[in-house]
Amino acid sequence: MEFLKRLGIEDKNFGCCTGTVWNNTTDQGELKIYSPATGEFIASVYQASENDLNNLLDVTDKAFAYWRTIPAPKRGEIVRQIANKLREFKKDLGTLVSFEMGKSLQEGMGEVQEMIDICDFAVGQSRQLYGFTMQSERPMHRMYDQYHPLGTVCTISAFNFPVAVWSWNAMIAAVCGDVNIWKPSSKVPLSAIACQNILKDVLIENNLPEGIFTLIIGKGSTIGEKILNEKRIPLISVTGSTNVGRHAAEVIAKRFGRAILELGGNNAIIMTPDADLKMAMPAVVFGAVGTAGQRCTTTRRLIVHESIYDKVKDALIKAYSGLKIGNPLDEKNHVGPLIDKTAVKDFTNALKLVQEEGGKIVYGGTVLEGEQYKSGSYVVPAIVEAENHYKIVQEETFAPILYLIKYFGEVKNAIELQNSVVQGLSSSIFTNNMREAELFLSAEGSDCGIANVNIGTSGAEIGGAFGGEKETGGGRESGSDAWKTYMRRQTNTINFGTKLPLAQGIKFDI
């Protein structure tokens, strides 16, 4: 395929790069990557070794000593050039993301655009790494705080966003003066290799040293564990399941490292009697079936007031019946495949369990067969009438299952249902009632890191800090002041007088 050639993807690829130089390790196993869209073989990747990681860390240590001395706006200029390279390769990279991961071509292109957007944001941020000045209680003293580069930052990304999550971390960290190690999901390593190939020209053109943007593809049991335990990596951003994040947090905390955790979501949309149903329906459907339900912000629960419940259910079934399921590279299709057959099994098992608990499938839930679905990863998105307390409803199933839940009485009852899960990522309410909307956004309202009014749960913009509460991990990435996580904070006090007064009025004369 021509787009693979343009992105520098070979039939066989190496799994570690220090910036522009690739390793030659071939004895750690070979990942063979197949497209969930068609089932066809794309390419393979030789996994990296622990020696490769040790070498990478030596290189990043040296690179950090250099990179932290470069003025932040100059670092921003490098990120600006990376954004331009991404614009140049947007179509090819978006196509690869779609083909390797299975999300629709529009979503693949959108993911690359998100990378471009965060680069642009980071360029501006490079001139706004602000500290604050405080008033000292001591005469002729000045106090302020400032932020310094932290060191080597590692991004461990998940399969559902093969490239965007890396860019959220890497580009902000880069303007902060940090250097980057990227460990992508072993399910979608080719997209990461393509990104490394895209940015290498910027590194060469600016005569930058190896180690500023690096990549390692390897086993979680060896490479992943070594990264978690590595004291030379002060900050690790982990995107994945709650179980993965819990283990990572424990290991990193033992060595007093920092962790940004972006974990599971069990996101709900509340629809009150004052909702604009015409506007709400597209948000619900995209939120539930976009990326085949494989977003951490996917809409998994729809909590509807009993007075409009039947109307909403009928509208949903009608909308779902119009969905086109098929090859994600065909822009006429709305829904592509799940990532693999394990995900399909999780989908069918969840539907079995919810029925055993008393749930009722009102639409979809089947696995598609036939020549055009030969990869075995295509399913019909399901709508299930359920109750919030069901065990399976309390869990996150990474698949297109929408639980339809009825609420009675005031909106506070719906908010209580929404909050009654262990996850706390994204949430939404559809209402034209100002009091309902403001209650939802108040301290008595949604307990999620993201709370929206009259828009869905997915599709967050990069300008806001992204992340959630409770078992979602508490991490924040991307916009707002998330940049502070990638730096070490320092409080400074300067005495420009001739005396040494002590704070709190303490006297110590000698």
Q: What is the pLDDT of residues 467-477, one digit of tens each?
A: 999 999 999 99
Does pTM surpass 0.85?
yes
How far apart CA 167 and CA 155 sit, in angstroms, is 9
DSSP result, 406-473: EE-SSHHHHHHHHH-SSEESEEEEE-S-HHHHHHHHSTTS--SSEEEESS-SS---TTSEE--EETT-
User: What's the first-to-final CA gap in the chain, in angstroms?
Assistant: 80
The distance from CA 248 to its chain's CA centroid, rounded to whole angstroms, is 16
Contact 195, 96 (CB under 8 A): no
Which residues make beta-bridge pairs with 148? Answer: 488
Q: Cβ atoms within 10 A of the Cβ of 392, count?
A: 20
> Dihedrals φ, ψ of 379, to 5°?
-135, 160
Catalytic residues: 262, 296
- The three state secondary structure string of 193-204 is HHHHHHHHHHHH
User: Positive or negative CA dihedral for 179, 16, 156, 206?
Assistant: positive
Report the pLDDT value the prediction gives residue 298, as an integer from 0 to 100: 98
How far apart CA 467 and CA 486 sit, in angstroms, is 15
Of all residues in the chain, what percent carry a pLDDT higher than 70? 100
> Above 90 in pLDDT, residue 509?
no
Report the pLDDT value the prediction gives residue 70, as an integer from 0 to 100: 98
In degrees, to the nearest 5, what angle opens at C-alpha 286 toward C-alphas 280 and 292? 155
* Tens-digit pLDDT profile for residues 36-47: 999 999 999 999
How far apart CA 34 and CA 406 sit, in angstroms, is 41
* Tens-digit pLDDT profile for residues 176-199: 999 999 999 999 999 999 999 999
* Tens-digit pLDDT profile for residues 472-494: 999 999 999 999 999 999 999 99
* Tens-digit pLDDT profile for residues 118-165: 999 999 999 999 999 999 999 999 999 999 999 999 999 999 999 999
How far apart CA 328 and CA 36 sit, in angstroms, is 10
> Above 90 in pLDDT, residue 308?
yes
Give exposure, 455-494, as e/b (b: 16+ Cβ within 10 Å).
Answer: bbbbbbebeebbbbbbbbbbbbbbbeebbebbbeeeeeee
How far apart CA 193 and CA 381 sit, in angstroms, is 32
Mean of pLDDT values over 169-176: 98
Of all residues in the chain, what percent carry a pLDDT higher than 90? 99
How far apart CA 373 and CA 489 sit, in angstroms, is 53
SS3 491: strand
Report the pLDDT value the prediction gives residue 510, as an integer from 0 to 100: 83
Q: Cβ atoms within 10 A of the Cβ of 432, count?
A: 14
From the CA atom positions of the chain, what is the Rg in Å?
24
How far apart CA 105 and CA 378 sit, in angstroms, is 16
How far apart CA 160 and CA 157 sit, in angstroms, is 9
> Dihedrals φ, ψ of 139, to 5°?
-65, 145
How far apart CA 424 and CA 482 sit, in angstroms, is 18
SS3 183: strand
Helices (H), strands (E): how many in the chain? 15, 23
Report the pLDDT value the prediction gives residue 203, as an integer from 0 to 100: 98
Report the pLDDT value the prediction gives residue 44, as an integer from 0 to 100: 98
* Tens-digit pLDDT profile for residues 1-16: 899 999 999 999 999 9
Nearest to 111 by CA among 101, 121, 126, 122: 101
How far apart CA 88 and CA 103 sit, in angstroms, is 21
SS3 28: coil
How would residue 460 be classed by pLDDT, with cut points 50, 70 and 90? Answer: confident
* Tens-digit pLDDT profile for residues 213-258: 999 999 999 999 999 999 999 999 999 999 999 999 999 999 999 9
How would residue 358 be classed by pLDDT, with cut points 50, 70 and 90? Answer: very high
User: Positive or negative CA dihedral for 10, 14, 20, 23?
Assistant: negative
How far apart CA 455 and CA 279 sit, in angstroms, is 8
Report the pLDDT value the prediction gives residue 234, as an integer from 0 to 100: 98
* Tens-digit pLDDT profile for residues 408-447: 999 999 999 999 999 999 999 999 999 999 999 999 999 9
